[in-house]
Structure 1
């Protein structure tokens, strides 16, 4: 029995294969899904699902890189800390106080204030010392008179008029000494010692051995204490004032002798300072018409001398033609 099989289909031609591939590509292109846009992370890459540990480590690395970049900048090291500023302020203040302490005007003012304080303290102490001896002098002057009798009352006036006379001499010498004119006249010195000897003798006499009924050294010392303090003050005060009068504060024209030489010295010092100021003006370190304060700082002199130099410069400046 013979079976008749159908003829196999003919093989496709190359043109049919090309058309089939093209149709397949068009079909796939038409039915391909559109991909979603992935969000961009802070690090510039597409967002991926990362574990918490990875995100933490990534943040630490980013922070470390930022800190490394900032640590290379020395700008914070150039700033002063509060402690450094405090020290600089204290150092600047100490330097200015040191310079002010060596300023001639300041030294003269300090010396005058100290001298006035010492003179005042000395005169107050002298007054108290003489007042202390008043009771002893009254006992000597009363000579056993009854209380409140005329002799007893007038005996209280002996020490005051002696003390007032002594204070007149000492006060005059003290004042003239503060003015730079100490008085060393022998007559005034003898008057002082006479008053002090009278005060000392009248205080000590009733308590001397052989005069007092019962000698007591402590009573004698207490009664002569006031006159001894007065003697010490009267002796020391002129010496102290003379030393103050000889102080040299570094000021041009400080009085050191008679009037004539002092004035000549002042003129010479002023001429030297004026010449230095002109040299500084020519060198450009001072303006053409400097003020007294600038001259004082440039020359290191007192304000009075700086004003004199300023006036001399203005007087000698030729007028414009």
Structure 2
């Protein structure tokens, strides 16, 4: 049997002596700590702290450089290129749309017609001086004959522009004028303009012949002749454009009739399959003949090749043209 002896309760003197001993021990340790701390603090210069920060940064970078996540992000330049490529692809797709192609063709046709009419106007204005010299016939300056000579070319030019402008506008609307009378009127005005410009400078008329002066004075009429000749041919080519529309009317000469199987035809003068647009097609074929795209008496095969229509329709158009020539 173990007998435990109770621990005596400390007296206040004992507590006082313990606190005093603890204070002495702490007082002995303070000088040692104070002597160590300044030694450690002496090496902590700015260069050491900067180098320690660089080393710590290098360790962090070494751990992060194997991560490919930043390489998967698109830079601003990549996003700009991708946006431009996507825009180009959409513009190309839009350019293949039949409606967009028709819009581009119509816009280009208007630009060409406007440029042709401006060129024709400037060419006729250029020839005004030459016509005035011819019409004045050496009249004194500012005399009535000299003044009225300036009006000869303008009223001829206005008449010519009326004819050419009407033909150009109606051709853009799919209803070209194929009247030979208008063509003769155009050539009459152009021949008069060319003759009056060239006459005073011909070798047998001019006192001192100069080839350069002759060329400069006939340049305006020659450009006018070129515009008047080329514009109907260009517009006729625009009327035969096929923009790829589906379900379009066969008689629309602006896009060209779509090829379809032969239909039953009653009388050659009747429109094939009851379509009243045959008259428009016949007019269009006459315009192609005038423009030189078809011979004077085209065969059914030539008509079918140009209009891309059925053979029965081509035969009906050929017979209608033949009947029209016989009626004349």
TM-score tier after normalising by the smaller chain length: 0.5 to 0.7
Is 2:208 aligned against 1:208?
no
CA deviation map 1:178-211 (0-9, x unaligned) = 1122323222111111110111111111211212
User: Contact between 1:107 and 1:249, CA under 8 Å: does it hold in 2?
Assistant: yes
Is 2:132 aligned against 1:138?
yes
How far, CA to CA, are the matches of 1:148 and 1:236 in structure 2?
39
User: Contact between 2:250 and 2:258, CA under 8 Å: does it hold in 1?
Assistant: no
Is 2:76 aligned against 1:82?
yes
How far, CA to CA, are the matches of 2:238 and 2:89 in structure 1?
27
Q: Select 2:192's aligned residue among 191, 198, 201.
A: 198
Unaligned runs of 5+ residues in structure 2 are 1-17, 27-38, 261-328
Which has the larger displacement, 248-257 or 110-119? 248-257
CA deviation map 1:106-159 (0-9, x unaligned) = 222222222111111111111111111112222222223333333333322221
CA deviation map 1:278-315 (0-9, x unaligned) = xxxxxxxxxxxxxxxxxxxxxxxxxxxxxxxxxxxxxx
Structure-2-length-normalised TM-score: 0.57
CA change 1:164–1:75 in 2 (3 A) is: same
SS at match of 2:209: coil
CA change 1:143–1:69 in 2 (3 A) is: closer
Is 2:226 aligned against 1:232?
yes
CA change 1:94–1:147 in 2 (3 A) is: same
Q: 1:46-85, aligned counterparts within 5 Å?
A: 66-85=60-79
User: Contact between 2:251 and 2:257, CA under 8 Å: does it hold in 1?
Assistant: yes
Is 2:95 aligned against 1:101?
yes
Q: Select 1:171's aligned residue among 165, 168, 173.
A: 165
**1:212 Cα offset (Å):** 1.8
Unaligned runs of 5+ residues in structure 1 are 1-30, 37-48, 266-321
Q: Which residue matches 1:246? A: 240
CA change 1:231–1:254 in 2 (3 A) is: farther
RMSD in angstroms over aligned alpha carbons? Answer: 3.5
The number of aligned residues is 224
How far, CA to CA, are the matches of 1:232 and 1:250 in structure 2?
32
Q: Which residue matches 2:12? A: none
Which has the larger displacement, 121-130 or 94-103? 94-103
Which has the larger displacement, 58-67 or 109-118? 58-67
**1:103 Cα offset (Å):** 2.5
Q: Which residue matches 2:266? A: none
Is 2:214 aligned against 1:220?
yes
How far, CA to CA, are the matches of 1:99 and 1:92 in structure 2?
11
CA change 1:181–1:75 in 2 (3 A) is: same
How far, CA to CA, are the matches of 1:60 and 1:149 in structure 2?
100
How far, CA to CA, are the matches of 1:63 and 1:221 in structure 2?
84
CA deviation map 1:231-263 (0-9, x unaligned) = 01101111111112222222334566458x969
